Amino acid sequence: MTGAAYAAPLRAVDRIEVLSEGPGARLVLHKTVDPDDPYMAGHFPGLTLLPAVFVLEALRQAVTTLVGADEPLNLLEVRSGRWLAPMQGGDEIRLDVTVTQAGAGHRLVTADGVRQDGTPVAAVKATLGDRDAVLAAQPPADLAPPAADGPPGPDYTGILGLLPVRHPMLMVDRVEALDPGRVITVTKAVSGSEPCYQGLPDGLPLSRYMYPRSLMLESFGQASVLLWLSTGTAEGVPVAAAFRDCRFFGEVRPGAVLRHVSRIDRLMTDNVFVSGQTWDGDRCVMTVGALVGSSRPRERVDRALTSAS
């Protein structure tokens, strides 16, 4: 699927141009948004949009290729990510990337993305790490698994009725508890039959089956949309506008049941600010400092409607 012998949702990069190597390496990445790529059919059916998290996946795949690592690099931290315009089916995305060493096993990556018409689409600062750095990362010591407070939320059919995603992009399975407008607890089971594991050759070490952190962040985002929808203020198409201070810890593999706890910190007209954590049992595997969601009229997201009018 990706040409890489590790779990990945799709081939997130079509072509890499290496402009310079060594300290301060510079790359140009190219990706055409393809509705036939894995996961894409379930993301806003009828409106092909590249998920923001797949830009993060593109950076991971490209830098892994650049350094020629035996084990894939993984996200350690998303310092900031801003998603500035929709990336629709057929769009050609260019990412200008700089990679610098940031300590043993750590690489700081900055990227600015534009569409083929010159419209800025993304600005990202993230840290990637090798496997030693992944295993060494520890969550804050004062974090404890929270209780699922509140009555249960919508069942699975209710989730289908609320979220504009479908299989295999639907990444929440059950709402354990919902305090509308305040906090939600949602579970996501990681199955070995998911598309990110298809096509992997036999005989790989267990480390290659680490669940992609881009998908974990997408799953948290979907849980947050369910919480936002409970306020009755979200209209139009809900999209990610920004991520800040997202950190990852440990490895998640098939068989895990992720538990997202998302809280609304601020609610504005057409925007929501949430934070939270993700747990695998009693292990914290991700903290989200801030996720900003934006609700946009469909004509602002679907350029085909704009051109038709």
**Which residues are the active-site residues?**
43
Whether the CB-CB separation of 260 and 223 falls below 8 Å is answered with yes
Whether the CB-CB separation of 217 and 247 falls below 8 Å is answered with no
Measured distance CA(243)–CA(241) in Å, rounded: 7
Whether the CB-CB separation of 78 and 126 falls below 8 Å is answered with yes
Three-class HEC string of the chain: CCCCCCCCCCCCCCEEEEEECCCCEEEEEEEECCCCCCCHHHECCCCCECCCHHHHHHHHHHHHHHHCCCCCCEEEEEEEEEECCCCECCCEEEEEEEEEECCCCEEEEEEEEECCCCCEEEEEEEEEECHHHHHHCCCCCCCCCCCCCCCCCCCHHHHHHHCCECCCCCCCCEEEEEECCCEEEEEEECCCCCHHHCCCCCCCCHHHHCCCHHHHHHHHHHHHHHHHHCCCCCCCEEEEEEEEEEEECCCCCCCCEEEEEEEEEEEECCEEEEEEEEEECCEEEEEEEEEEEEEECHHHHCHHHHHHC
